[in-house]
Chains A and B, each alone.
Chain A
Amino acid sequence: MIGLAMDDRPTGQPADRGVPLVEMRNISIQFGGIKAVDDVSVDLYPGEVVALLGHNGAGKSTLIKILSGAYRLSGGEILIDGEPSVIQSPRDAKMLGIETIYQTLALAENIDAPGNLFLGREITTRWGTLDDAAMEHATRQAIAELNPNFTRIKEPVKNLSGGQRQSVAIARALYFNARILIMDEPTAALGPHETRQVADLILRLKAKGIGIFLISHDIHDVFDLADRISVMKNGKLVGTVRTTDVTQDDVLGMIILGKRPTMGT
């Protein structure tokens, strides 16, 4: 990476921060004949928050689902810690320390919090059976850190409030020591108080050196949290900018017009 000329780097990237956690290079994906994501490059450094912005249908969620293993890319490559990595399934992504909090939360509504937190990664006893007590214990601890008022651990998550369900999804992403966290519209379903809690959480995780991709269609949600912003429109990358270099209006222009702002005005 060191030998690369500055011009080859995705814009907005600092030159002196070592190897990025994630580099997605020239990513494309097609559904039928339609390119949902077309030649997009983004990257993410440790302890950094990169926001992915764009209208609904701009391709942000699709791009991120390639990283989380839900979709397979049709073109381009993904580097994790500078190493080319193949991500063909959600399991592959999790092995690489990539955890995702989906907009829909992706919870099985009929199952309780421990069942959801450990779904696909259950703790088992030495007989190979589910160790529900151990999972309940771990879940109580993990949830208590996030949301001390949440005690209805053993209820199916469909009986929980939006904030509590979100806590389950967040606890699931954090419990397994994620290094790369993807949050898809994390505050879309939350009230102002819970939104502030999520913002605090993002700052805490950032301080721990976790890299976070924050996906949103609303710039106001993410401008204060993000270090850099990548804007997408119609499946293509409009550009990546540092939040310190631009105003919210500049970014809004990128989202709406699909053009990079003229810098240094």
Chain B
Amino acid sequence: MTSVAHMPVPLRQSQAPGFKAALEVDLRLLAMVLAVVAVWVGFDLLTGGIFLTARNLWNLAVQTSVVGIMATGMVLVIVTRHIDLSVGSILGCVGMVMAVLQAHILPVGAGWNWIVSVAAGLALAGLIGAVQGWWVAYRGVPSFIVTLGGLLIFRGLAWSMTEGQTVAPLDETFQLLGGGLLGSIGAVWSWVVGGVGIAAVIAKAILGRRRRDAYGFMQRPIWAELLVAGVAIMAIIGFISVMNAYNRPRTEIAQGIPIPVLILIATAVLMSALAKVTRFGRYVFAIGGNPEASALAGINTRLVVLSVFALMGLLAGIAGAIQTARLNAGANSTGELLELSVIAAAVIGGTSLAGGTGTISGAIVGAVFMQSLQSGMVLLGLPTPMQNVVIGLVLVLAVWIDNSFQRRRL
């Protein structure tokens, strides 16, 4: 072993920034995106061109939304050195509550039915998360145990509400949350969303430069700024085009962005902002890096941890609404084993189980990666047990590759 401690430390600031440094791009995220592209191209070749069609990509986006939404919360949970094994069960339980409210308790057909049932479900989901967080933060029970208990408890409660019977059909407006045939916003609104996204990319670049100028900080070279913004804008245009290229079956009407995907995008943007530009987000990462130091700095670490679990519960509730709407039924098995896909998405997306590191964008890419594998294997006609074998292997390999990559950089 050579001693790392005595190696000369490169003085990066004193040299002109290299190509990679100038771009300030998250290399790990870039590697992830390249891995997704490789998987897509691979499956497209194997399936004879079925994978990279607008229809399949549109479906892939819808399928990613449930895991993606929950993965954004799981990042924060894992960053604080905890885990939440109960998200699949919360999703199922809360979905069941929404279904029962809609079909059995609230007046069927009332315009406000779906709003009240979803609001009640989300409130319950947040409460469940908060209670679990309280056990973890204030009672010191390891999160693994608390949420393992939650996994059993909420799955059992989902069953007991109807003694295992499936609740269907559900409110028609509610069904739109799941995507489905009518659950998209159409071509025009999709371009509006894309336009807002492009404007945000440009505004962020300009405002960022202005701020750094105000303090006389070093700017990244203008070509790098343009390249990064340009790639982001191209990605937005490409995404909207694909979503609009898929028509409703037997019509010429473009689907556009499915509503669950829109919810995923909104969630990802809000969660990214929460993680990066709020005190709360800063404290989440500080606690993950050094819990004692965070407490000594005056942070209410227990309240932050409780809030992270409450937020995770709320996100599981949102995912529950989408999944239940998509099935158009409340079933007690909805979301079974989904906690594993969510944790895998976060970890493949670069969230370290040791705590302190992870990004929302990485988790989204991780979710896309996982879902792409699954979708591709379905298209290839691989039986479900073999799909699990592949996903299990890929999970272990991905984390191993990431670990060795990180170690080499140190």
Contacts and interface: CB of A to CB of B under 8 A. Distances in A.
Interface of A: 68, 70, 89-91, 94, 100, 102, 104-111, 115, 119-122, 124, 128-130, 132-134, 136-137, 151-152, 161
Contacts of B294: 108, 119-120
Nearest to B299: A120
A119 B283 CA distance: 8
Contacts of B282: 111, 115, 119, 122, 130
| Top 3 closest pairs, chain A to chain B, by CB | A108-B289, A110-B289, A106-B293
Contacts of A119: 282, 286, 293-294, 297, 299
What does DSSP make chain B's interface, helix, strand, loop or mixed?
helix
Nearest to B352: A110
A136 B289 CA distance: 20
B285 A110 contact: yes
B286 A133 contact: no
A90 B296 contact: yes
B293 A107 contact: yes
B222 interface: no
Task: Give the interface centre of A105, A120, A128, A152 by most chain B CB atoms within 10 Å.
Answer: A120
Given A108-B285, A111-B286, A111-B289, A133 B217 contact: yes
B211 interface: yes
A110 B356 contact: yes
Contact of A152 (B13, B288, B290, B296): B13
Interface of B: 9, 11-14, 211-212, 214-215, 217, 273, 276-279, 282, 285-286, 288-290, 292-299, 356-357
Nearest to A127: B277
B212 A109 contact: no
Contact of A130 (B11, B278, B288, B289): B278
Contacts of A130: 276-279, 282
Contacts of B357: 110
11 contacts: A90-B297, A102-B293, A106-B293, A107-B293, A111-B285, A111-B286, A121-B297, A122-B279, A130-B279, A133-B217, A152-B13
Given A121-B298, A130-B276, 15 more contacts: A70-B295, A90-B298, A106-B292, A107-B293, A109-B356, A111-B285, A111-B286, A111-B289, A119-B294, A120-B298, A120-B299, A124-B279, A133-B215, A136-B217, A137-B215
B277 A90 contact: no
Contacts of A100: 296
B290 A107 contact: yes
Contacts of B12: 152
B286 A90 contact: no
Contacts of B212: 133
